[in-house]
Amino acid sequence: MEESSTRSEDMKNTEKKKRKEEEEEQEEEVFSFSKKAAEEEEEDEDQSDSEDSVFSGLEDSGSDSEDDEDEEEGEEGGSHDEDDDDDDDDDVKAEPQQTQKKKKKKKKQEVIKAAEEEKKDEYEHDSSDEEDIRNTVGNIPMEWYKDFPHIGYDLDGKKIFKPIRNKDELDDFLDKMENPDYWRTVHDKQTGSDITLSDEQVELVNRLQRGQFGDVNFNEYQPSVDFFSKDVMIHPVTNRPADKRSFIPSLIEKEKVSKLVHAIKMGWIKPRRKEDDSKGRYYDLWANEDSSILARHRMHLPAPKTPLPGHQESYNPPPEYLFTDEERALWEQQDPIDRKLPFVPQRFSSLRQVPAFPRFIHERFERCLDLYLCPRQRKMRVNVNPEDLIPNLPKPKDLQPFPTTQSLVYRGHSGLVRSISVSPSGQWLASGSDDGSIRFWEVCSSRCMKTVQVGGAVKSVTWNPNPSVCLLAVALDSVVLILSPCLADRQVVSASERLLIGQQEADTTEGAGPVTWSETEGEELNQGIRLKIQHPKAVHQVQWHAKGDYLASVMPDHSSHLQVFIHQMSKRRSQNPFRKNKGLVQCVSFHPIRPYFFVATQRSVRIYNLVKQEMTKKLQANSKWISSMAVHPGGDHVICGSYDCRLSWFDLDLSTKPYKMLRHHKKAVRAVAFHRLYPLFASASDDGSVIVCHGTVYNDLLQNPLIVPVKVLKGHVMTHDLGVLDVTFHPTQPWIFSSGSDATIRLFT
């Protein structure tokens, strides 16, 4: 019994020693194999980096063939090893050496299989977004690409194009009926393709929809492990020393890097270069516009340049730029906005003594703030040929006849000739001057036929437009004189005398109003003065009606409503048509055909209907002070001259505002006139010129009048800053008369 027990103990000890030896051998084989496998992996990676690598011819160590032989031997003896593991202790002791080798090979085979499983690619099942997504546009709405043929860009920056043909409803329905995987097919908006989900992905979606964890093996109820205790520990958790490989450079990595460097130098590997986008990301806001990125913008407005420093900014300015005590006190009293200079000029002996400018940063900040906040407007320059802007007007030669040259000069007055008028026959010309005389001239010969002294400055003279009588109305201070110059046929003179004698019968009908009628006697009667109409104020203008029975007189006065009177010659009756006047009346005129009355104030022209006794229209002249007015013979057009050098043409059927504004004169416009027969009108100004214009009025209401300046007539000499004072046309010929401050009357033909 004792021998058997000692024997069994010896067998157990022997078995323990063998097991220890086998375990040590297995560990050595595992470490040597893993090291060998790592070396083989690195060699494979090195060779796979470049197909044309010069290191592709490296020879193997030959360990693979030995492993293969060991694997074959292990397969042959595999069945015996399984039986041997179940033997008793007695069989172990009697095992031959060959059986032990087979066991070792079997163990080695298992280790190889385990190493192969570990050798699998660790990124095979990686599902990170950076690896899977091929479209690199980022997290943006894909609707931005709906108008483009591509849907994004890949890692190399190339466009990912959409499918040529998109699915419609019919294709979707057929796919739904025929495709068994339709229910697990998802459309990827980023790549524009359809993706079929695997079973694992479907299970993952279902788990997430049920509110469970995505990982099947995750246990949400596992106990928490306290890795750290509340007790402060002196020594670290582990005292394991650092590995030797942590501070020794790896020779394998060095060899691999040298291979890659050599391949890059030889051009076998071309690494992807990242474009440096920092140049386009940042730019200098106040840099040169040519090199700035802002210059590429279409509507970019360059910042205005700061003015260059002058003599005031110098450290040693000239003496005239330095402030005196009075200037410095005035500068200190002014507001910073009102100061011409934001600093006081100072003088220093050298540049070293100049101190730093204390408001430099403040001024830079204010300039940047102004450039940032101040809106700037771009002025679009249009390259237009200047000739295209000029309207296509007919040539003046095609618009003849019109007056072009000075033919006669009527001399005899010694003062300003303020007013002239031509008789209806066109044979006689009457003129009134500041020298207190009225002269009657023969038009063709410029001979003075008669002179009437009235004893005061004559403001206005007007012939009666009725050719059957020969009468002249004269405005003198506060009196209107009716003259019969006897410069006509005997029948016309006798008709005028009978008219004046017949008016005496109506003398009893006059009332005691602000205007009084009286007859002349003695010397005045011999000179041809027949009637006197006394007004309460000074009369500046007289105007006849077209039929010759009514006469209007104007007395400009702000303080009174008695500014306009209308006198009837046949009844010797005067009336004030307005209860109150809106503005200072400048001039009046009768409509040539209809019962309309034009009253021009400083800013506007009012048109009154004499039959209905109401105002029908108000014309806005768009000028500061109207000086004169003339009505077209047709009655539908009016021109107004003003003291601010403008001439306004009104189309009464078109608008209440001017149809044309002519700014041809350089000084105040004193008088305007229309021709009775020819399409001509003229304006006289203080600049000593008379401008004749062609104004064609068409019968077609849809066609606008044609206004063409044709001639500038000069000849008058400016006296006392006055030029041409009055202008009028000949009733039948294309001639024009003008009177000026040089006491002359000129005829242009």
Q: Cα(664)–Cα(650) distance, rounded to whole angstroms? A: 17
Q: Phi/psi at 607 (nearest 5 deg)?
A: -115, 125
Residue 130 has pLDDT above 50, yes or no: no
Residue 476 has pLDDT above 60, yes or no: yes
pLDDT, position 12: 62
Pairs from 28-32 (Cβ < 8 Å, separation ≥ 24): 29/107, 29/108, 29/111, 30/111, 30/115
| Average pLDDT value over all residues in the chain | 79
Q: Cα(605)–Cα(73) distance, rounded to whole angstroms? A: 130
Residue 31 has pLDDT above 80, yes or no: no
**pLDDT top residue among 708 and 59:** 708
The continuous run of DSSP H or E covering 589 comes out as strand 587-590
* Sign of CA pseudo-dihedral 101, 104, 105, 106: positive
Which of 50-59, 86-95, 291-300, 347-356 shows the lowest mean pLDDT across its residues? 50-59
Average pLDDT, integer, range 563-579 = 84
Alpha helices, DSSP H only, in 625-672? Answer: none
The tokens describing 473, both together, are 């109305």
The continuous run of DSSP H or E covering 428 comes out as strand 428-433
pLDDT tens, residue by residue, 689-737:
999 998 888 887 777 888 888 889 888 888 888 889 999 999 998 899 9
**pLDDT top residue among 364 and 5:** 364
Look at residue 245 and give its three-state secondary structure.
Answer: helix
Q: Cα(594)–Cα(632) distance, rounded to whole angstroms? A: 12
Quick count: other Cβ atoms within 10 Å of Cβ 692? 23
Contact between 56 and 47 (Cβ < 8 Å): yes
pLDDT, position 97: 59
pLDDT, position 55: 40
Nearest 10 degrees: Cα torsion 151, 155, 158, 160: -30
Rounded to 10 deg, the angle between the 78-85 and 63-76 helix axes is 60
**pLDDT top residue among 701 and 556:** 556
Contact between 735 and 749 (Cβ < 8 Å): yes
The tokens describing 643, both together, are 């003291």
Q: Cα(590)–Cα(597) distance, rounded to whole angstroms? A: 5
Average pLDDT, integer, range 66-81 = 44
The tokens describing 742, both together, are 């040089």
Which of 102-116, 172-186, 436-450, 467-481 shows the lowest mean pLDDT across its residues? 102-116
| Per-residue b or e along 437-458, where b marks 16 or more CB atoms closer than 10 Å to that residue's CB | bbbbbebeebebebebebeebb
pLDDT, position 41: 45
Bridge-based pairing state of the strands 680-685 and 159-161: unpaired
Q: Cα(532)–Cα(516) distance, rounded to whole angstroms? A: 8
pLDDT, position 43: 44
pLDDT, position 256: 94
pLDDT, position 50: 41
Contact between 493 and 486 (Cβ < 8 Å): yes
Contact between 690 and 665 (Cβ < 8 Å): no
Q: How far is CA 85 from CA 7, 10, 14, 79, 300, in A?
A: 21, 20, 16, 11, 90
Q: Which residues contact 80 (CB under 8 A, 6 or more apart)?
A: 99, 102
In the chain, what are the helix, strand and coil shares in percent, each to the nearest 5?
30, 25, 45
Look at residue 739 and give its three-state secondary structure.
Answer: strand
Q: Cα(588)–Cα(545) distance, rounded to whole angstroms? A: 11
Beta bridge partners of 35: none
Contact between 472 and 529 (Cβ < 8 Å): no
Bridge-based pairing state of the strands 193-196 and 680-685: unpaired
Contact between 417 and 432 (Cβ < 8 Å): yes
pLDDT, position 503: 52
Average pLDDT, integer, range 192-199 = 89
Q: Cα(482)–Cα(572) distance, rounded to whole angstroms? A: 12
If pLDDT is split at 50, 70 and 90, which confidence band does 287 have?
low
Residue 122 has pLDDT above 70, yes or no: no
Residue 89 has pLDDT above 50, yes or no: no
Look at residue 524 and give its three-state secondary structure.
Answer: helix
Q: Which residues contact 411 (CB under 8 A, 6 or more apart)?
A: 743, 744
Quick count: other Cβ atoms within 10 Å of Cβ 397? 7
Q: Cα(713)–Cα(403) distance, rounded to whole angstroms? A: 8
If pLDDT is split at 50, 70 and 90, which confidence band does 120 have?
low
Bridge-based pairing state of the strands 626-631 and 596-600: unpaired
Residue 60 has pLDDT above 50, yes or no: no
How far is C-alpha 322 from the chain's CA centre? 44
Q: Cα(10)–Cα(14) distance, rounded to whole angstroms? A: 6
pLDDT, position 75: 44
Nearest Cα neighbor of 271 from 44, 50, 43 is: 50
pLDDT, position 548: 83
Measured between its terminal Cα atoms, the distance across the chain in Å is 172
pLDDT tens, residue by residue, 635-651:
889 999 999 888 899 88
Q: Cα(575)–Cα(537) distance, rounded to whole angstroms? A: 15
If pLDDT is split at 50, 70 and 90, which confidence band does 181 have?
very high
pLDDT, position 383: 80
Which of 167-181, 280-294, 543-557, 580-594 shows the lowest mean pLDDT across its residues? 280-294
**pLDDT top residue among 525 and 727:** 727
Residue 156 has pLDDT above 70, yes or no: yes
Average pLDDT, integer, range 436-465 = 88
pLDDT tens, residue by residue, 656-693:
888 888 888 888 899 999 999 888 999 999 888 999 99
pLDDT tens, residue by residue, 387-434:
888 777 788 888 888 888 888 899 888 888 999 999 988 888 999 998
Bridge-based pairing state of the strands 550-554 and 529-534: unpaired
pLDDT, position 508: 41
Contact between 414 and 433 (Cβ < 8 Å): yes
DSSP string, 622-663: -SS-EEEEEE-TTSSEEEEEETTS-EEEEETTT-SS-SEEE-
Contact between 602 and 586 (Cβ < 8 Å): yes
Q: Cα(499)–Cα(303) distance, rounded to whole angstroms? A: 82
pLDDT, position 252: 92
pTM equals 0.51
